[in-house]
Amino acid sequence: MSQVKSMLTIVALLLFTFVLPVLAQTSKGTIVGTILDQNGAAVAGATVKLSNVETGVSRETTTSAEGTYRFEAVDPGNYKIDVTAGGFRGHNDSKREGCWRTN
């Protein structure tokens, strides 16, 4: 009987080891970037707006002291990023906008 319990314990441990990581997978993505000025210096405190082109749903974040930003749990789709920061002119120039496809 103890051999059966030992075998069941081993099987249970193997299931938890190999099955749980599969359950943790998601269809969502992450978008990260760094905002720099024309001299290559990081722009801290800039507002970064991520907008889904198809749905119009958007969310915002603020860049860190190093100028980095991160959007977690991004649904698949086409996105546009707009950046605004104090002391910088805003642009609607399509060359300054990015459009990404998350998979």
The count of structural domains within the chain is: 1
| 8 occurs within a structural domain | no
Rg (CA), the chain: 22
Closest among 72, 23, 25, 18 to 50, alpha carbons compared:
72
Q: Phi/psi at 45 (nearest 5 deg)?
A: 80, 10
Confidence (pTM): 0.66
**Cα–chain-centroid distance for residue 74?**
6
Per cent of the chain over pLDDT 90 is 26
Residue 78 sits in which domain range?
28-102
CATH number of the domain where residue 90 is located: 2.60.40.10
What backbone torsions phi and psi does residue 9 show, to the nearest 5 degrees?
Answer: -65, -45
Structure confidence by residue, pLDDT tens digits, 10-38: 766 666 666 655 556 778 888 898 888 88
69 is a domain residue:
yes
At residue 103, the pLDDT reads 45
What would the two tokens of residue 21 be?
Answer: 């990581």
Distance of CA 9 to the CA centre of its chain: 38
pLDDT, tens digit only, all 103 positions of the chain: 566 666 677 766 666 666 655 556 778 888 898 888 889 999 999 998 998 888 999 999 999 999 999 999 998 888 888 888 888 766 433 333 444 554 4
Residue 98 located in a structural domain: yes
Q: Would you state the pLDDT for residue 67?
A: 92
What is the pLDDT at residue 12?
A: 67
In a domain, 95, yes or no: yes
Q: How far apart are CA 82 and CA 55, in angstroms?
A: 16
